[in-house]
Amino acid sequence: MDKQHVIFEDLGIINYKSAWDYQEVLVKKNIDIKSEIRKTEANNIAIHNSQFKIQNKTSNFLLFCEHPPVYTLGKSGHIENVLLSEDEMEEKEIEFFRTNRGGDITFHGLQQVVGYPILDLENFYTDIGKYLRSLEEVIILTLAEYNIKAGRSKGETGVWIDPEIPGKERKICAMGIRCSRWITMHGFALNVNTDLSYFNNIIPCGIINKQVTSVEKELGHKVDFEEIKEKIKRNFAQVFDVEITSPHNHLHQAMA
């Protein structure tokens, strides 16, 4: 059986709202395609036309980016976990958004790899828990390549270091997703060479008395940002058993 294709795009440094809007466009396209397919099936119309099949096939995406400093609050989040006023955020030039992802408050900033997979889970498995564990596994495998032993913290999403040692637990990668008609959006944020001082202004993910860390902090030196993105991409392909393509390659395949 052919592997699912995932179209990869590196959006570079992009403000949070622009990236969110772009995700919404990709999600809506996929939802519209699914609606069209269901309508056709409901009318018992046999789909023999190969052009129809190509045009009415959902697409999977993996977007990477960096955001200028921004705090984002998930739909189940508590505003009390933001320790700055609106005026103070404006003064420090930090944006703030209430989002439609799960989770509480988090920070995005430069030298943090933010990954937004837009996947049609009906092409994989319809299990949100499994999807989140798979995303965590991508990051755990990537960190292992830097000899950083990371894992999961019971009852909490994301990737942690020393999660089982009270007082030593520290989060290195936050996660929060949204899933609509089995199409995912939002995703993960891995602290690489991130300025961690921004986390002092929030209670990250609403979890008290647990630290936040970065690859740089764990290793004691900065790491190559492009290199770690390549490793994440490769591990994503491995964990999800997909083929990563460029937008151009995907277009070529669709027309072939």
What residues are annotated to the active site? Answer: 205
Beta bridge partners of 242: 4
Nearest to 134 by CA among 12, 238, 51: 238
Only one residue has tokens 């990051």, namely 139
Only one residue has tokens 């989770």, namely 103
Q: How far is CA 1 from CA 53, 177, 242, in A?
A: 17, 28, 11
Q: What is the DSSP letter of 167?
A: T
Both tokens assigned to 209: 């008395």
Q: To 10 degrees, the CA torsion angle through 155, 161, 162, 168? A: -100
Q: Which amino acid is at 181?
A: R
Residues 6+ apart with CB under 8 A from 112: 66, 67, 189, 190, 191, 192, 194
Nearest to 161 by CA among 143, 135, 137: 143
Nearest to 170 by CA among 230, 212, 215, 218: 212
41-55 per-residue burial string, b: 16 or more CB within 10 A, e: under 16: eeeeeeeeeeeeeee
